[in-house]
Structure 1
């Protein structure tokens, strides 16, 4: 569910939504989402001073708190 949430948000931000790649790494109590976008779209996902990335992470942790798991978003370049 968290992967779909991140994908939906990021698709609306970037110019090349077909180049979005999200890798899910499941752990015992946590999940890591590795997000890759085109280099030209990286700034749109991170935002000024990281504000957009922080907002996405806040939404993600709120969504994951219902299941009692910890979800981390890593934006890779």
Structure 2
């Protein structure tokens, strides 16, 4: 669920949607989502002063409240 959400949001933001890759790492108490985009699109995913990244993380935490797990979004370059 969260993986699809991050992938959809990222593909909507970037110029190269084929370059979007999301890896899911399941832990016992938390889930880590690794987001990788093409080098030219990294700024579009992070946003000015990290605003877009913060908004995506807020949406993820709201989405994860029903599962009770903590969700961490890592943007890899």
Q: TM-score, normalised by structure 1?
A: 0.98
CA RMSD for the aligned pairs?
0.5
Aligned position for 2:68: 68
Distance, in Å, in 1 between the alignment partners of 2:67 and 2:42 is 29
Aligned position for 1:2: 2
1:32-43 matches, within 5 Å, as: 32-43=32-43
Following TM superposition, the consecutive aligned residue runs of length 4 or more in structure 1 with deviations greater than 3 angstroms are none
Q: TM-score, normalised by structure 2?
A: 0.98
| Structure 2: gaps spanning 5 or more residues | none
| Structure 1: gaps spanning 5 or more residues | none
The alignment partner of 2:67 has SS state of coil
Distance, in Å, in 2 between the alignment partners of 1:66 and 1:16 is 32
Distance, in Å, in 2 between the alignment partners of 1:25 and 1:58 is 19
Distance, in Å, in 1 between the alignment partners of 2:36 and 2:9 is 14
